[in-house]
């Protein structure tokens, strides 16, 4: 397996089982070099906060189109593109609009692509659950509005399995990936607190207040909260009733409480 990334992670580069390629997805020759000799490719590149040298359009649309085009030109048999539930070209979020246009660009450049749309990704090793644990250590836990937005958290290991099955089964088209449990944001925080045997009161904060906070924070080089993130946090992220998903890939996903139990066992 070859991992291509702009900034190498030392943990990965020390592993003899993985070949590493320093790659900038904005550069044709870099992408071609990373794909050379490959039989399949997975595009998991993402950008959550725009920077001076990288914006949503460049990464989620232009780079996605480049990877699909060069994969097709190089005769790569299979391509999996990681997107996200809720992509919409009419979204008020520039991030969400770019992810949607990226799907269109990839489909045009590589017609047999498999597009995976995971819900909120969780892991027993950290990531989102670690961030939520930090929030629940506050004296009062803040909610976005009343915390009723619905999530279907999916284990990162299950997403990885879905990638493997999409490649091996030669799947194409769109698959929405959600875990075994649908919880509101409030319920998810309660589950995180229960796993840590912690109790805290919760405070509903109107979204207009959060938008004001995001505007103030926008002057920072890497703001901890952005307007685009607030749009994501105000929309349900659950698998559509008519969508193909884990079952169509021959998989049964875990629920977030199972991931929390595993995480608690590691601590």
CB atoms within 10 A of CB 204: 12
Task: Answer whether residue 213 shows pLDDT above 70.
Answer: yes
Tokens of 42: 């997975």
Task: Answer whether residue 136 shows pLDDT above 80.
Answer: yes
Q: How much is the pLDDT for 204?
A: 97
What is d(CA 33, CA 175) in angstroms, rounded to the nearest whole number?
29
Task: Answer whether residue 77 shows pLDDT above 90.
Answer: yes
Task: Answer whether residue 27 shows pLDDT above 90.
Answer: yes
Q: How much is the pLDDT for 10?
A: 65
pLDDT digits (tens, 9 = 90+) for 104-122: 999 999 999 999 999 999 9
pLDDT tier for residue 123 given thresholds of 50, 70 and 90: very high
106 backbone φψ class: left, alpha, beta (φ>0; ψ -120 to 50): alpha
Lowest mean pLDDT among 2-6, 69-73, 191-195: 2-6
CB atoms within 10 A of CB 235: 17
Q: How much is the pLDDT for 111?
A: 94
Q: How much is the pLDDT for 16?
A: 67
Question: Between residues 20 and 211, which one has the greater pLDDT?
Answer: 211
Task: Answer whether residue 258 shows pLDDT above 80.
Answer: yes
Residues present in the chain in total: 267
Task: Answer whether residue 36 shows pLDDT above 80.
Answer: yes
Distance of CA 189 to CAs 84, 96, 141, 147, Å?
22, 24, 9, 9
pLDDT digits (tens, 9 = 90+) for 42-75: 999 999 888 888 899 999 999 999 999 999 999 9
């Amino acid at each position: 397996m070859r991992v291509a990334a702009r900034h190498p992670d030392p943990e990965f580069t020390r592993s003899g089982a993985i070949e590493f390629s320093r790659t900038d997805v904005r550069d044709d020759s870099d992408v071609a070099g990373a794909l050379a000799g490959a039989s399949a490719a997975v595009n998991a590149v993402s950008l959550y906060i725009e920077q001076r040298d990288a914006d949503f359009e460049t990464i989620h649309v232009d780079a996605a189109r480049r990877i699909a085009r060069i994969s097709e030109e190089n005769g790569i048999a299979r391509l999996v593109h990681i997107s996200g539930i809720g992509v919409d070209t009419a979204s008020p979020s520039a991030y969400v609009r770019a992810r949607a246009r990226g799907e269109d660009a990839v489909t045009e450049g590589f017609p047999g692509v498999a597009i995976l749309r995971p819900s909120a990704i969780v892991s027993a090793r950290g990531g989102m659950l670690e961030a939520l644990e930090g929030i629940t250590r506050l004296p009062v836990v803040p909610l976005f509005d009343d915390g009723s937005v619905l999530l279907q958290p999916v284990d990162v290991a299950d997403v990885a399995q879905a990638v493997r099955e999409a490649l091996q089964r030669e799947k194409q088209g769109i698959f929405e990936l959600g875990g075994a449990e649908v919880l509101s944001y409030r319920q998810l925080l309660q589950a995180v607190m229960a796993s840590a045997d912690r109790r805290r009161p919760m405070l509903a904060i109107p979204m207009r207040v959060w938008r004001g906070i995001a505007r103030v924070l926008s002057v920072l080089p890497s703001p901890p909260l952005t307007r685009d993130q607030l749009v994501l946090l105000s929309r349900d992220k659950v698998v559509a009733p008519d969508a193909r998903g884990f079952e169509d890939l021959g998989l049964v996903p875990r629920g977030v409480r199972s991931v929390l139990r595993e995480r608690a066992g590691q601590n």
